[in-house]
Chain A
Amino acid sequence: MGAGLNTCLPASVKGSRVKYLLLQICVSSRVQVNKAARGPEKFSIEYIRKHAEEFEVGKRRLANMMGEDPETFTQQDVDRSIEYLFPSGLFEKKARPVMKHPELIFPKQTAAQWDKDGRPFHFLFYTGTPSFYSIMHDTFGKVLAIEKHQDQMRSKGALPQDSKQISLGGSRWLLKEELEEVLVENISDQDYSRFLQLMDKLLSLPFCALEEEFVQRFRKQLEIQSTKQEIPDVHCDENGRSYSQAQGRRKTATASVTLRDCGSGRVAVNGKDCLLYFPILQDREQIMFPLHFAGMLGRFDVQAHVEGGGRSAQAGALRLAIARALLSFVSTPAEVETIRQAGLLTADPRIKERQKPGQAGARKKYTWKKR
Chain B
Amino acid sequence: MASHRVGEADSGAPHHHHIPYAIPHMLHHPNNSTFINQEGSAFDFGELEEAIILQGVKINNDDKKQPLYTAIRPAATLDMFPSWPMRFQQHTPRGSSKSGEESTDSGSAVNTLSNTPESPSDHRQPPPPPPQMDAAGGIDSPRLSGSHSQPAAKPAPEKTLRRLAQNREAARKSRLRKKAYVQQLESSRIRLAQLEQDLQRARSQGLFLGGGGAASGSISSGGAIFDMEYSRWLDDDHRHMSELRTALQAHLSDGDLRVIVDGYIAHYDEVFRLKGAAAKSDVFHLITGMWTTPAERCFLWMGGFRPSDLIKMLIPQLDPLTEQQFMGICSLQHSSQQAEEALSQGLEQLQQSLVDTIANGSANDSMHHMAVALGKLANLEGFVRQADNLRQQTLHQLHRLLTIRQAARCFLVIGEYYGRLRALSSLWASRPRESMIADDNSCQTTTDLQMVQSSQNQFSNF
Say whether A associates with B: no
Residues of B within 8 A of A (CB): none
